[in-house]
Chain A
Amino acid sequence: MLRYTLGRLLGAIPTVLLVIALSFVLVRAAPGGPFDAERAVSDVVEKNLRAHFNLDAALHVQFVDYLGNVLQGDFGPSFRYADQTVSELIAGSFPTTLLIGGMSLLLALLIGVSAGITAALRPNTLTDRLVMTLAMSGISIPVFVIAPVLVLVFAVKLNWFPAGWSSTSDASRLVLPIVSLALPQIAYFARLSRASLIDVLNSDFIRTARAQGLSRASIIRHHALKPAMLPIVSYLGPAVATVLAGSVVVEEIFSVPGVGQYFIRGALNRDYTLVLGIVIFYAVLIIVANLIVDLVYRWLDPRIRQH
Chain B
Amino acid sequence: MAPAAYLQHRTVRFSVGLLFVISVAAMVGPWISPHDYTATNFDALKLPPSWQHWFGTDDLGRDLFVRTMMGIRVTLIVAIVASVVSLVIGVLYGAIAGMLGGRVDAVMMRIVDALFALPYLFFVILLVVVFDNNIYLLFLAIGVVNWLDMARIVRGQTLSLREREYVDAARLAGVRLPGLVLRHIAPNLIGVVVVYITLSIPQIILMESFLSFLGLGIREPQTSLGALVDIGVRQIETASWILLIPASALALILLCFNFLGDGLRDVLDSRSRDT
Contact = CB atoms under 8 A, between A and B. Distances in A.
Check if A and B associate: yes
Interface stretch (A50-58, A94-102, A144-152): A144-152
B258 interface: yes
A136 B258 contact: yes
B210 A136 contact: no
B210 A249 contact: yes
Q: Interface majority SS on B: helix, strand, loop or mixed? A: helix
A14 interface: yes
Contacts of B230: 144
B254 interface: yes
Contact of A31 (B119, B121, B132): B132
Interface stretch (A21-29, A39-47, A70-78, A113-121): A21-29
A228 interface: no
Contacts of A286: 117, 119
B16 interface: no
A279 B255 contact: no
Given A136-B258, A145-B250, A148-B233, A283 B126 contact: no
Nearest to A139: B258
Interface in B215-266: 226, 229-230, 233, 236-237, 240, 243, 247, 250-251, 254-255, 258-259, 262
A141 B254 contact: yes
A259 to B, nearest CB: 10
A12 interface: yes
B75 to A, nearest CB: 12
Nearest to A12: B117
Contacts of A142: 206, 209-210, 229, 250-251, 254
Contact of A14 (B114, B120, B129, B243): B114
Interface stretch (A165-173, A216-224, A263-271): A263-271
A105 interface: no
Contact of A140 (B229, B233, B237, B251): B251
A19 interface: yes
B202 interface: yes
Contacts of A249: 210
A9 to B, nearest CB: 12
Given A11-B110, A245-B120, A267 B236 contact: no
A241 interface: yes
Interface in B121-155: 121-123, 125-127, 129-130, 132
Interface string B87-115: 00000000000000000000000100111
By CB atoms of chain A within 10 A, which of B126, B236, B240, B262 has the most? Answer: B126
A163 B119 CA distance: 28
A245 B119 contact: yes
A292 interface: no
B27 interface: no
A290 B230 CA distance: 34
A193 B114 CA distance: 28
A276 to B, nearest CB: 10
B214 interface: yes
Given A29-B130, A142-B206, A283 B255 contact: no
A142 B243 CA distance: 13
Given A15-B113, A141-B254, A283 B119 contact: yes
A268 B236 CA distance: 26
A31 B113 CA distance: 30
Contacts of B250: 142, 145
A279 to B, nearest CB: 5
17 contacts: A14-B110, A15-B118, A18-B118, A23-B123, A26-B126, A26-B127, A30-B129, A137-B251, A140-B258, A144-B210, A145-B247, A263-B125, A264-B214, A267-B129, A283-B118, A286-B117, A286-B119
Q: Which 4 A-B pairs have the closest CB atoms?
A: A140-B254, A15-B114, A245-B121, A140-B255
Given A144-B233, A267-B125, 18 more contacts: A22-B123, A23-B123, A23-B126, A139-B254, A140-B202, A140-B255, A141-B254, A142-B229, A144-B209, A145-B250, A148-B233, A245-B119, A245-B120, A248-B122, A263-B122, A263-B125, A279-B119, A286-B119
